Structure 1
Amino acid sequence: MRLLLENKQFRIFWIAGVFSDLALITYFTVHGWLALQVSDSAFWVGATSGAGGLSLTMFSVFGGVLVDRFGRRSLVLVGLLIRFVIALALVALIMTENIALWHVLLAAFGEGLAVSFLMPAMMALTLDVAGRGKLLSATAARFAGMTVAGIIAPLAAGSIVNSAGIEWAYVMIALGFSASAGFMLILRPPNPAKRTNSSPLEDLKQGVTYVIRTPQIRMLIAMIFITEAFGWAHESMLPVMARDVLHVGATGLGYLLAAGSAGATVTTVIISNMGDIRNKSNMLVGGCIGFGFFLVLFAWSQWLLLSLAFLAGAYAAVIVYETTINTLLQTSVPDELRGRVLSFQAMMWGVTGLAGFHTGAIASAVGAPVAIAIGGGVVILNSLRIARHRSQLDPDLAQSSLDSESIDSRGDQPES
């Protein structure tokens, strides 16, 4: 967290990110709840998440091209404007009692569209503003802001929904996005995206080819895919767990999300003060295994306090994985390709939303706990598989192995 004191531009960027995160987490807290109110169906709660994931998956690679061609700050501002308009539209529909399921689905689709270029731009700006040598600390600081927002926003949103109505939660969302835009307007990133003479289609092809043909990047993206499709799929079922399993309503849903963020906050504060870390692949695999393990425990808990503790443990573990994989992706990719490669990560986040379709279907058939437990189990198994190939994920570990082999070979040579 020292970076916030040392770097003024990163401090402005961090504050803008916190306001955006407050709005985003409030949206995730209440939008699934709105779908549940309108439809009274676990499937449509999952499908709402799926609608956002569909647009994020469809448009992310094109968003990456935009990030590498145009000003990243400008793209963030456009994304914030879209999200602001969506929130105000939902406020009007709910207040006039004209809200329908298709409105909820369309809003989720629009949110995913905005995220498809906003998030790669935000991730690329993190390195632009903080510098390559400070990226791990900067990423952890960004996650720390997100997790603090994740404690405040769900508790506030749950209270607002119960006391004033869900429409006022969307007012809070609109205010958060507008405040974030205000700070982004005064940000002066030192390294704007470079314009290119190639066509957008050529840029897209170059990015796709790089991801497919680079073993380290290909493995990292595949790991993100599995974790998002099966681990983070639990998010779409949290409203169902809160209402139908734990019987705690919207306020209890806020407690669940806040507990997860509290666990994540502890991890991010620790990592942000550690500086650079060698052998990042050990952190990557260990964090992912812990995520799946605590998700399985959470799935079978029927007591609120235990569920809060297990979700806090899951999020504390997954932040280790998320911080590490973001750092490995950004530091392993040439600057001119960074936006396009990060767009694949954003695309995998879209898979989280798409997972709402199969998670919702499983939950409708056999219950939300079973759907979440299956996802956690798949994450554990995939992490154990990845553990055997750690040296391919982390250049530091690969170099350590080469250095050890070199020392051993010199030791085996006969003395002259």
Structure 2
Amino acid sequence: MSSGVLQAVVALKHRNFRIFWTGQLISLIGTWMQNLAQGWLVLTLTNSPFLLGLVTAVQFTPMLLFSLFAGVAADRLPKRKLLLVTQSGSALTALTLGLLVLAGRIRYWHVLALAAILGTINAFDSPTRQSFIIELVGKRDLMNAIVLNSTAFNGARIVGPAVAGFAIDHLGMAPCFLINAASFLAVICGLLSLRVDDTSKDTEAEEMVFSKIKDGLIYIRQTPLILRVLSLMVVMSIFAMNFNVLIPVLARDTLGLQAKGYGYLMSAMGIGSIIGAICLAFVSHLGPRWYILMGGAVGLCLFQLLLAYNRSLFLALILLGLTGMSMITFVTSVNTTLQLNSPDHLRGRVMSVYTLVFLGLSPLGSLFSGTVADMGGAPAGLAAGAVIGLISSAAVLIWGKPEATPVNKKL
């Protein structure tokens, strides 16, 4: 195997990360199957883009409410044990949804309630999982580990939606949820087999939770690089990354596709994302680069804007592939930049803010996109978000590139 290929997968030399990564890959295929099936289920039950957006809003509202508290938990509690609890809870919600669909008893309010429960679980799972990676590989191989996680995420995005679209057409929606529930066993078994130090990284004296949250926010405010990157992520998250709401509407109402065609669109985005992740893997040893981060942001908005004016399935597949490539470049660069510029005892709290702006603001984005799509269709929602994202990217570029801050900085 060539040295370049070995460099691209260097994080896999760590036993703990190999086990964790493999479990995540299996589970994520199930997650993407459920994501596609849930969107199609809501459209089938309600025939309303707005109500589809409302489900996404309800699912991600707990991220907005609880992410900062979850960051304190991630710093204070053993991360592996916390992940065992969150992954088990996610499996139970998928199983419940699958059984309701299988029994023919599913109602819209069931989807809303289970989305809220899953969102609450994910509010604690996401910052814990993000800040756990560095404990598995160390700082030297962190960016490569994040890239490989993105590769798994987007590899699953290719397989999951395609399998889900086929399953819905031939078997119905229930198998998508039941397979997702079973897939969590891979992560749970993997976590149980890890050899890690189950002690807290935050060994400072006990303080009130709000005081610890304040410490994290002060660090972010006093670190220009982190503040600027998070500011751009806020805008992108609200306006330019609402594909779970807009792509099913684009597939059905604009391109005239059924569930299988919707699956192809989501898989195309996954293919683009995995190509982007593979490219990043080969340069991950260089660390995050500002021009790559900003290029990802601009590309994400530009290709989305072109997608809004497209009516061809072939071009839609290409544009979604390019959009996926740009999005993974942007998100991975942001994630790595934040982790490498955060001290160990604050990393959970910094990543909880990342979770808040990346996922917790999705309710605002979903309601925005759902409302615009209800009035003007999916193309209007795509175009509006893309234009706002391009303006914000230009503003950040004018603002200028900040210098990195040493991670041993103390408050």
User: For this structure pair, what is the TM-score category when the shorter chain's length is used for normalisation?
Assistant: over 0.9
Amino acid at match of 2:298: I
Question: In the superposition, relative to structure 1, how do residues 142 and 192 fare at CA in structure 2: closer, same or farther (>3 Å)?
Answer: farther
Quote the offset at 1:192 in angstroms.
4.4
Is residue 172 of structure 1 aligned with residue 179 of structure 2? yes
1:205 and 2:214 aligned: yes
SS at match of 1:276: helix
Separation in structure 2 between the aligned mates of residue 238 and residue 192 of structure 1, nearest angstrom: 42
Matched, 1:243 2:290: no
Q: Distance in 2 between matches of 1:214 and 1:147?
A: 31
**Aligned counterparts of 2:307 and 2:198: Cα–Cα separation in 1:** 43
Alignment of 1:18-29 (within 5 A): 18-29=25-36
The answer as to 2:141 corresponding to 1:134 is yes
Contact 1:77 1:181 in 2 (8 A): yes
Matches within 5 A, 1:33-52: 33-52=40-59
- Alpha-carbon contact 1:76-1:122 (below 8 Å) kept: yes
Q: 2:396 maps to which residue?
A: 386
Call closer, same or farther: CA 1:91–1:291 in 2, change over 3 Å: same
Q: Distance in 2 between matches of 1:382 and 1:130?
A: 34
CA contact (8 A) 1:112 1:350 kept: no
Where does residue 331 of structure 2 map in the other structure? 322
SS in 2 for 1:116: helix
Q: Match for residue 411 of structure 1?
A: none
Pick the aligned partner of 2:268 from 256, 259, 269: 259
List per-residue Cα deviations over 1:170-216 (Å, max 9, x = no partner). 01110112222111211223574335432323222222232233332
Correspondence for 2:366 among 351, 356, 359? 356
Counterpart residue number, 1:12: 19
* 1:372 and 2:382 matched: yes
Q: Work out whether residues 281 and 393 of structure 1, in 8 Å CA contact, stay in contact via their aligned partners in 2.
A: no
Within the alignment, does 1:122 sit opposite 2:132 as a pair? no
Q: Kindly tell me the number of residue pairs found equivalent between the two proteins.
A: 396
**Identity across matched positions, percent:** 28
How far is the alpha carbon of 1:395 from its aligned partner? Answer: 5.6
Name 1:309's counterpart in structure 2. Answer: 318
The residue type equivalent to 1:385 in the other structure is A
Answer yes or no: is the 8 Å Cα contact 2:99–2:178 preserved in 1: no
Superposed CA offset, 1:319-376 (max 9, x none)? 1111111111001111100001100111111212431112111111111111111111
Deviates more, 1:14-23 or 1:100-109: 14-23
Q: Could you tell me how far 1:152 is from its partner in structure 2?
A: 0.5
Q: State the match for 2:60 in structure 1.
A: 53
Is the CA contact (8 Å cut-off) linking 1:217 and 1:329 kept in structure 2?
Answer: yes
Larger radius of gyration: 1
Letter in 2 for 1:304: L
Does the alignment pair 1:91 with 2:95? no
Cα pair 1:13 1:183 within 8 Å, conserved: yes
**Could you tell me how far apart the structure 2 residues matched to 1:6 and 1:249 are?**
42
Secondary structure of the structure 2 residue equivalent to 1:188: coil
Structure 1 residue 152 and structure 2 residue 169: aligned?
no
Unmatched tracts of structure 2, length 5 or more:
1-7, 407-411
CA distance in 1, matches of 2:15, 2:102: 41
Name the amino acid aligned to 2:89.
Answer: I
Note closer, same or farther for the CA distance 1:365–1:74 as it changes in structure 2 (3 Å cut): same
Instruction: Identify the residue that residue 69 of structure 1 maps to in structure 2.
Output: 76
Q: TM-score normalised to the size of structure 1?
A: 0.91
- Picking from 322, 343, 346, the partner of 2:352 is 343
The Cα shift of 1:394 comes to 4.5
Q: Helix, strand or coil for the counterpart of 2:180?
A: helix
Q: Which moved more, 1:271-280 or 1:112-121?
A: 271-280
The corresponding residue for 1:270 is 279
Scaled by the length of structure 2, what TM-score is found? 0.92
C-alpha contact (below 8 Å) 1:241/1:368 kept by paired residues: yes
2:301 corresponds, among 280, 292, 299, to 292
